[in-house]
A and B are shown apart, each in its own frame.
Chain A
Amino acid sequence: MKINDVILRTVTKIVVFIILTFGVELFISGHNDPGGGFSGGLVLASALLLLYMTYDIETVHKGIPFDFKKIAGLGVFLAVASSAVPMLFNNQFLNQAKGDFALPVFGVTELSMVLLFEAGVALTVVGVVVTILLTISEDVS
């Protein structure tokens, strides 16, 4: 039996971008407002899950040809490596440096090392959640 899911597919195409944008927004705004690496990563992962559910794994894989295990590994690497960077400048491990930078377009912006750390958290969450769900779904199908 073929399920008629035109509406789902059409809606997904649009909604996924909204969710992805929302995820990035959550990730960036986490510094001062609700959000952050963990919830941002979870939202990104849920957008991907929606894609996988609406289309099938192979189709999505053509569009997003990432190995999510490696993304999770990259996330951990990023978090640990960015934690170790301060040690090179005679600071303690995990000392999160920050500073204000005058950037084009954005104006004077505060940038912090914690951004890299949180990026690592977000990537790990995305990688692990998608890996687990893909593995289980490949197993049952």
Chain B
Amino acid sequence: MMIPILILVPFLASLFVPFLYTYVRSKKIGWMVLPVPLILFVILSFQIPKLASGENLFYTIRWLNAADIHFTTHLDGLSMILGLLITGMGTLVVMYSIYYLSEREALGRFYMYLLLFMGSMLGVVFSDNVLVLYVFWELTSVSSFLLIAFWHQRKNSRAGAKKAMLITVTGGIGMLVGFLMLHQMTGTYSIQEMIGMAEMLSTNELFIPAMLLILLGAFTKSAQFPFHIWLPDAMEAPTPVSAYLHSATMVKAGIYLVARFIPVFGESEIWFYSVTFVGLLTLLWGSFNAVRQNDLKALLAYSTISQLGLIMSLLGIGSAAMLDIPGSDKTIYTAAAFAGLFHLINHSTFKGALFMIIGIVDHELGTRDIRKLGGLAVFMPITFTIALAGSFSMAGLPPFNGFLSKELFLEASLAVQHLALPGVHIWIPIVAWVASVFTFVYCMIIVFQTFFGRQQQQPAWVDRGAHDPRPGMLVAPFILGGLIVGLFFFPNVLGKWILKPAMAAIYPSFVNPESLVPHIAAWHGLNPALWMTIGIILIGTILYIFLRQWRRIYTIAPFSWKIDNIYALLLIQLEGNSYHLTNKYMTGHLHRYFTYILLFFIAMMGIALSFVWRLAFDFSEDSVVTVNEYILVMVMMSAALAILFVNSRLIAILLNGVLGFTVAFLFVVLRAPDLALTQIVVETVTTVLFLLTFRFMPDWKKERPRRSVKILNAFIAVASGLIVIITALMVQGNRLFDPISEYFEDAKTLTGGGNIVNAILGDFRAFDTMLEIVVLLIGGLGVYVLIKLKHKKDGDGNENQ
């Protein structure tokens, strides 16, 4: 029960924040939000010993038995890592944001979105049912959209938000299809049950498509090449958001998904190749592009892309342990997945710290352009120290945690030599090494171009009062800085308590989880990995020194390519074509729309009828038609016919009313008072609507349509009428399914309600009713928005800044 509540708490909190904000209109609101992630973090931490002893926490809240969709939560080692990151980073980011955002911002909205995100992200990692997972997955995209566009008056914010949304949601829908395919294969929506059936899946013809679609979801979310383009644009968000969503948590969702599905898909070579090589390509492209950035935040964005690629490729190499390769020791591959998880945590610490530091620099000096910055070390010593720790950790230097996971990464890239697969043993180490060199270079750019050199600028900083920010703002990056160093000295604590259960979750088929957790040591002899690191430092330093000389290559063809252009082109094409197409059929003529609707009805019902074509009409059980009913039907028919021949709109409306009220009478005669009542009131309300709009309608002109249109109209009229009659008659004579009327006869005992109509509406088919009123609400809001916005169209003055 605990985990569902954990997921629910941020959602409830996010509901209350706007109300709270109307009373507390100051920064205090942040302090009130802060306990939410903090308490969640503490509660989660208390579960660590339980998980370390090999336990898993399952809890199911049954939702829909008929559809097999339940809110099943599952806390194991893997979701624990993400859960701790989400709540832990959440605490730090909320704390940081209290000082970062000024009181003039819409703080209520900000924290509402942030908590919404926190809840949906917890939902993603704790859900075991794939459909529930999907819903939370898309909710993270939506809350990310809202947070990127937090400063929605800026054009770039809106464009960035739209881009992120379009790309991640497209991937999400692909993933949904993948999930449905998996359901088709396994007959279950539970991930754990799918893992249990993994062995029989690989021969299924849906196996590969399902895998690729799920990977599409993971790659778009985790900004893998070529879908990485949304991440740099997402940097328009306030810095706390970038630190939280776009480096520490949301972009890790794709990595989580890949790790989660390794037991299902790991046996396939296609999985190994796509995850590993997409990861490596992302790593290379991201680090290569990070070097050319001038905006510190954009640099960090590309570095995040590259680091995500690194983790992804590690998981890919790790999945090689599932491949059916005889002989070799599998633990050299599981060590790669171990390194991936380790780096996942390390990346959150150092990248979170760096984002916060950049935020501080931007906050204090009003710029984050490295061409304008320089020499800040003297003015901001504490900030500088944390930045140094973060960057050197990212570059893979001791004594910081990044060094440990980087060494493990290099070892893993060499370990694939033992894998007898084509194209693996040369390319993986080379790409890993080259990308690491670029990583080293951009890490040096962060430290040296921001905090050293350019002495001539120092007087300017004195004028602008450059100094370390208030202590409160430094607390969060300082804690992360402490972790960066702490994890270097005590990595095996993390390995034992957190990573071991996670490894057991990734490799459930390995009986001995102890063998999955290698001992991490800072000094591991002069092995090839260390030589590679030394090479990285040497070449990296040389490249950094001569940066100005070789930077020109970014203007040469394949290096200057931007995938953004493809996105922009596709978007323009899509918008243009959709506009064109929609204009073709949305002509504004009601007649046209009725034609579409009825033709669709005729086609669908015609196909359905032709499949069950048994013209067995059975009148034996029909009751006798009375004179009253004949008369009422006659009145209806003559009213309907008369509408065709009148020449005034008023009379037509009146006749339509006659028709409606006669139907109501017919209901009375047939003893259906509920329907009669509803029909009468609906008829009344419709008449009021007519009265409102009556004098604005154009003159009633008799149309003289062409012959072909007339024939089509006649066909539609006759065909729809016939289909309705045939269907009604056939229903009596054919029993395709078991009758459900026995439910209705027992309505009183089943539901307690004596009125069958309401027993159906409120109980038997309550799901329909619930969704219908949702549709009703959407329809009502649609009318409201369409009419109200029509007037405001001219008045968007300050929209595009």
Report which A residues bind B (CB closer than 8 A): 26, 30-39, 42-43, 45-46, 49, 53, 69, 72-73, 75-76, 79-80, 83, 87, 90-94, 96, 98, 110, 112, 114, 117-118, 120-121, 124-125, 127-129, 131-133, 135-140
Q: How many residues in B have their beta carbons less than 8 Å from beta carbons of A? A: 45
The 18 listed contacts between A and B (C-beta, < 8 Å) are A31-B754, A32-B753, A36-B755, A39-B681, A42-B681, A43-B677, A69-B784, A72-B781, A76-B773, A83-B770, A87-B71, A93-B64, A98-B751, A121-B762, A124-B776, A127-B777, A132-B780, A140-B693
B779 within 8 A of A: yes
Contact B678 A42 (CB under 8 A): yes
Q: In the complex, what's the smallest C-beta–C-beta distance from B63 to chain A, in angstroms? A: 5
Binds A, one of B207-215, B429-437, B683-691: B683-691
Contact B757 A36 (CB under 8 A): yes
Query: What 4 A-B pairs come out closest when comparing CB atoms?
Result: A32-B754, A128-B780, A34-B673, A42-B681
* Residue ID in chain B nearest A42 by CB atoms: B681
Contact A31 B758 (CB under 8 A): yes
> Taking each of A49, A75, A93, which has the highest tally of chain B beta carbons within 10 Å of its own beta carbon?
A93
* Chain A residues, Cβ within 8 Å of B773: 75-76, 79, 120-121, 124-125
Query: A30-B758, A46-B684, A49-B685 are contacts. A127–B63 as well, Cβ < 8 Å?
Result: no
Q: Which of B64, B677, B766 contacts A39 (CB 8 A)?
A: B677
What are the interface flags for B723-761 relative to A under an 8 Å C-beta threshold, 1 for contact and 0 otherwise? Answer: 000000000000000000000000000011111011001
Chain B interface secondary structure, helix, strand, loop or mixed?
helix
* Chain B residues, Cβ within 8 Å of A34: 673-674, 677, 755, 757
Query: A34-B674, A35-B674, A117-B766 are contacts. A135–B784 as well, Cβ < 8 Å?
Result: yes
Chain A interface secondary structure, helix, strand, loop or mixed?
helix
Contact B62 A90 (CB under 8 A): yes
* Residue ID in chain A nearest B753 by CB atoms: A31
Contact A135 B63 (CB under 8 A): no
Within 8 A of A (CB), among B33-68: 61-65
Contact B681 A43 (CB under 8 A): yes
* Residue ID in chain B nearest A140 by CB atoms: B696
* Chain A residues, Cβ within 8 Å of B787: 135-136, 138-139
Distance, CA A83 to CA B757, complexed state (A): 19
Q: In the complex, what's the smallest C-beta–C-beta distance from B532 to chain A, in angstroms? A: 54
Q: In the complex, what's the smallest C-beta–C-beta distance from A71 to chain B, in angstroms? A: 10
Query: A87-B63, A93-B63, A121-B769 are contacts. A39–B674 as well, Cβ < 8 Å?
Result: yes
Distance, CA A49 to CA B673, complexed state (A): 23
* Residue ID in chain A nearest B69 by CB atoms: A93
What are the interface flags for B771-789 relative to A under an 8 Å C-beta threshold, 1 for contact and 0 otherwise? Answer: 0011011011101100110
B700 within 8 A of A: no
* Chain B residues, Cβ within 8 Å of A39: 674, 677-678, 681
Q: Which of B64, B685, B753, B777 contacts A72 (CB 8 A)?
A: B777
B295 within 8 A of A: no
B362 within 8 A of A: no
Q: Which of B677, B684, B753 contacts A114 (CB 8 A)?
A: B753
Query: A87-B63, A133-B689 are contacts. A46–B784 as well, Cβ < 8 Å?
Result: no
B682 within 8 A of A: yes
Contact B766 A83 (CB under 8 A): yes
* Residue ID in chain A nearest B754 by CB atoms: A32
* Residue ID in chain B nearest A127 by CB atoms: B780
* Chain B residues, Cβ within 8 Å of A110: 752
Contact A76 B62 (CB under 8 A): no
* Chain A residues, Cβ within 8 Å of B709: none
Contact B766 A92 (CB under 8 A): no
Q: In the complex, what's the smallest C-beta–C-beta distance from A20 to chain B, in angstroms? A: 13
Distance, CA A123 to CA B788, complexed state (A): 23
Contact B762 A117 (CB under 8 A): yes
B767 within 8 A of A: yes
Contact A76 B678 (CB under 8 A): no
* Chain B residues, Cβ within 8 Å of A140: 692-693, 696
* Residue ID in chain A nearest B63 by CB atoms: A93
* Residue ID in chain A nearest B682 by CB atoms: A42
B763 within 8 A of A: yes
Contact B71 A79 (CB under 8 A): no
Distance, CA A114 to CA B751, complexed state (A): 9
Distance, CA A20 to CA B48, complexed state (A): 59
* Residue ID in chain B nearest A34 by CB atoms: B673
* Chain B residues, Cβ within 8 Å of A121: 761-762, 769, 773
* Chain B residues, Cβ within 8 Å of A87: 61-63, 71
